[in-house]
Structure 1
Amino acid sequence: MLNQQRNQPVAVFAAAVAAALLMGGCGPHGSQGTQQAAPPEVSVVTIETERLVLTMELPGRTAAYRVAEIRPQVNGLILKRAFTEGSDVNAGDLLYQIDPAPYQAMYDQAKAAVAMAEANLPALRSREERFKKLVESHAVGQQDYDDALAALHQLEGQLGVSMAAMESAQINLSYTPIKAPIPGRIGRSGVTEGALVTAYQPVSLATVQQLDPIYVDVPQSTTEMLRLKRRLADGQLNPDGASQNKVVIIQEDGTPYPEEGSLEFRDITVDPTTGSVILRIVVPNPDGALLPGMFVRAVLKEGVNETAVFVPQQCVSRTQKGEPYMLIVDAEGKVAQRMLSLDRAIGDRWLVSSGLDSGDRVIIEGVQRVRPGVSVKAVPFDAASSAPAKTN
């Protein structure tokens, strides 16, 4: 009886230890050994190709369609100016009038010389014809006939000289009214009435510029030009048909110009200082809103990508070397890494040149919780639920 009482505390302690061990086996550490953790959940977007019209935006400057620097072609005194500075003029409009009196006198003198020669010419022709018949019958000597023939030829030559002088004087006289050679807008005048001007002087009297249509000259780098040609040749881009050469003009204040321009040609000479060629665009300018020398931007069409692939910019990660990549969920439900080749940013998305295909599931949310090779649970990305709430 005494021994049983002594052994009772030992039995109670053993029972307590067994209960503690049993409770420890049923705790959290024990459940990890018997149950496998659930795979992490990530939000994915399935890649779908889109049709994209690719454009490039280049800076440029406007230039007048035609420019005529007005210079006198004869010497003289300016009698009057017949235009208003800054106004529109038509081809043939009178701009300046040079004093025509000296040139009128020269023309009248040359005209009189022609008249005198023409008056003497019939008599010498008749004399030559008579002497020609008389010399055959030996009524006059051969020398007399030769003198008559020489006098006729001399007068004919003199008549030709006089007619040339008259024509030259008439041309000079016609240069005394200085007229607009082209239609356009004329700038400020460099001379006033009473000024003495010289023929073909280096300083122009005024300048007429045709502004409708107007040119937009845009430099394009040869690197970009070669890249575009290569993509068209490889079939990555298709020409956009008749609208390929259509150009949208953005004005200095950022507003689109209402008239659409057209690409006229690419220059064939590369500027060695900039490594670029000039693209010339013709833009209608009926209201004269575009002036020569203005800075604008031209949006040109490169072509059409029928299978464009886009990804959100915030989902593209980069390696330590700066190489872009994304994590995707493969067909087995595991995370895989895809290295990307990016073309350009359009809005808040990257245009992907290579690395992703249609049907790939890219991870949008949950990238921080996974790594390549890990099995995940992919759920469709809900853009509406992830958008930040607006505050008033």
Structure 2
Amino acid sequence: MGLNVKRAAKLLIGALVVLPAGYAAYHFRTDIKSLKLPFALPFMPAAEAEQGPAAAPPPRPPVAVKVATAKAEDVPIYLTGIGTIQASNTVNVQSRVDGEIVQILFQEGQDVKQGDILAVIDPRPFQAQLDQQLAVRQKDQALLDGAQIDMERYDALIKTAAISRQVVDQQHALVEQYKAQVRNDDAQIEYARTQLGFTNIRAPISGRLGIRLVDQGNYVRAVSPTTIVTVTQLQPISVIYTLAAVAVGQTRLSLGQTEAPVVALTADNSVELDKGTITLVDNQVDQASGTIKLKASFPNKALKLWPGNFANGRITVDTRKNAITAPAIAVRHGPRGDFVWIAKADDTAAFRPVTVGQIFDGRALIDKGLARGERVVTDGYYRLENGSRITIEGQTPTAKAQPTAQPRSEPRVD
């Protein structure tokens, strides 16, 4: 009885070990058959190792894209840079004579014309000096008139030898002395009038006033001038651009006076501020930075350019005739440089490297890699690979034979 129980237990244990092992061996044999091995395993027939290639996968569906045609057009060539806005003229208005300010005749921020009176210095001391010089001249003129009468009398008497030649010569010298004194008086009178005129402080240029810096009642001196107000000329206005000297040297611009159209733009290049002209290319290059300064003049009629502010500039230096252009959105950037996707006549996409000259108004100037009339992909390029089948949106598809699967001859670049 005990022997039979032991035998039954051994058989049960053996079955529990053999059955899972057999099940695993069966599935392992089934999986290994699906492997394509160039050699036969010991437990599988050699014919199974020499199975033919698997059936080709089904072709991928075409990628929907939008395209645009490359054009040939006249393209302006630009140089771009950032510039500092400077007033054409800025003058600190100061007194040229000593005295008390008795009147302030302007408002802060006011537009003034050249010659407008801005402030008045007490004129009474200067008027008194002028009156004094006028009186002195009147006295000297009377002395001159008397001396001339005596001289004419002496000239008549010398003819009869009634007086000596010495007396006549002395009288002639006295007349010349009085004439010189009168001329000196005239100069003193002109100086006094000038000083009196300086009591009216006038605008030296036309422009816009800033903040008043001196109040009425203050005493000002010419030897230590105090700025009363600053006048800034805003129309026209200047912008100083700093550009790479190498880039400027490749254009038709030359050192000194020149003329080239320029457009002032906001910092994000989205808004046009004004149109002007490059009037000057500086006569030396900054050796530290390799840059050169260009001066532009703008009419600034809308007063959008403010002194001290910054403005981007787009300078037209040339016009390229019949240049190839494409939408800027079609140009992609990869590890090997710029490229576009070309929509070929057989409705497949092709990778094409290009050289971009510049981007302007949403279009790219293509220096190399694209011909007029070729179609470039402008949307849907993220799923493209070299040779991918495409369908062009907005175009009626034509009946074609179903192509075989396209091999991946070019990895996806973008």
Q: What one-letter code is carried by the residue in structure 2 that aligns with 1:353?
A: D
Report if the CA contact (8 A) 2:330-2:341 is conserved: no
- Tell me: CA distance 1:380–1:55, structure 2 relative to 1, closer, same or farther (3 Å): farther
Show CA shifts across 1:102-127 (max 9, x none): 21111111111110111122221121
Q: How much does 1:289 deviate?
A: 4.2
State TM-score, norm by structure 2: 0.66
- 2:392 is matched with 382
Q: What one-letter code is carried by the residue in structure 2 that aligns with 1:282?
A: F
Asked if 1:114 corresponds to 2:137, the answer is yes
Aligned equivalent of 1:292, options 307, 312, 318: 307
Q: How much does 1:85 deviate?
A: 1.5
Asked if 1:90 corresponds to 2:113, the answer is yes
Aligned equivalent of 1:221, options 244, 258, 263: 244
2:75 match: secondary structure: strand
Q: How much does 1:281 deviate?
A: 2.5
In 1, the alpha carbon distance for the partners of 2:264 and 2:293 equals 19
Bigger radius of gyration, 1 or 2? 2
Q: How much does 1:165 deviate?
A: 0.9
Q: How much does 1:142 deviate?
A: 1.2
- 1:162-173 maps to which residues of 2 (within 5 A)? 162-173=185-196
Asked if 1:343 corresponds to 2:357, the answer is yes
In 1, the alpha carbon distance for the partners of 2:393 and 2:324 equals 18
In 2, the alpha carbon distance for the partners of 1:85 and 1:46 equals 58
- 1:290-329 maps to which residues of 2 (within 5 A)? 290-310=305-325, 322=336
Report if the CA contact (8 A) 1:191-1:205 is conserved: yes
Aligned equivalent of 1:77, options 77, 90, 100: 100
- 1:181 is matched with 204
1:228 match: secondary structure: coil
Report if the CA contact (8 A) 2:252-2:318 is conserved: no
In 1, the alpha carbon distance for the partners of 2:108 and 2:362 equals 50
Q: Matched residues, percent identical?
A: 25
Aligned equivalent of 2:264, options 240, 249, 258: 249
Higher RCO (C-alpha under 8 Å, 6+ residues apart): 1
Q: How much does 1:271 deviate?
A: 5.1
Q: How much does 1:318 deviate?
A: 5.5
Q: How much does 1:223 deviate?
A: 1.9
Report if the CA contact (8 A) 1:264-1:282 is conserved: no
Q: What one-letter code is carried by the residue in structure 2 that aligns with 1:284?
A: N
In 2, the alpha carbon distance for the partners of 1:267 and 1:299 equals 15
- 1:270 is matched with 284
Asked if 1:283 corresponds to 2:306, the answer is no
Show CA shifts across 1:327-354 (max 9, x none): 87999xxx99976433234577643223
- Tell me: CA distance 1:347–1:172, structure 2 relative to 1, closer, same or farther (3 Å): closer
In 2, the alpha carbon distance for the partners of 1:328 and 1:149 equals 106
- Tell me: CA distance 1:161–1:362, structure 2 relative to 1, closer, same or farther (3 Å): closer
- Which segment is superposed worse, 43-52 or 152-161? 43-52
Once superposed, what is the RMSD of the aligned Cα atoms?
A: 4.2
- Tell me: CA distance 1:209–1:324, structure 2 relative to 1, closer, same or farther (3 Å): closer
Q: How much does 1:167 deviate?
A: 1.0
1:208 match: secondary structure: strand
- 1:21-36 maps to which residues of 2 (within 5 A)? none
- 1:10-159 maps to which residues of 2 (within 5 A)? 47-159=70-182
Show CA shifts across 1:153-203 (max 9, x none): 111111111111111111111111111122221112221222221226454
Report if the CA contact (8 A) 1:214-1:285 is conserved: no
In 1, the alpha carbon distance for the partners of 2:174 and 2:373 equals 103
- 1:22 is matched with none
Q: What one-letter code is carried by the residue in structure 2 that aligns with 1:63?
A: Q
In 1, the alpha carbon distance for the partners of 2:341 and 2:189 equals 90
In 2, the alpha carbon distance for the partners of 1:46 and 1:28 equals 46
Q: How much does 1:62 deviate?
A: 2.5
2:136 match: secondary structure: helix
- Tell me: CA distance 1:348–1:67, structure 2 relative to 1, closer, same or farther (3 Å): closer
State TM-score, norm by structure 1: 0.69
- 1:176-215 maps to which residues of 2 (within 5 A)? 176-199=199-222, 201-215=224-238
1:215 match: secondary structure: strand
2:252 match: secondary structure: helix
In 1, the alpha carbon distance for the partners of 2:261 and 2:362 equals 26
In 2, the alpha carbon distance for the partners of 1:202 and 1:382 equals 76
Q: What one-letter code is carried by the residue in structure 2 that aligns with 1:307?
A: N
Q: How much does 1:70 deviate?
A: 0.7
1:181 match: secondary structure: coil
In 1, the alpha carbon distance for the partners of 2:173 and 2:131 equals 28
Q: How much does 1:49 deviate?
A: 2.4
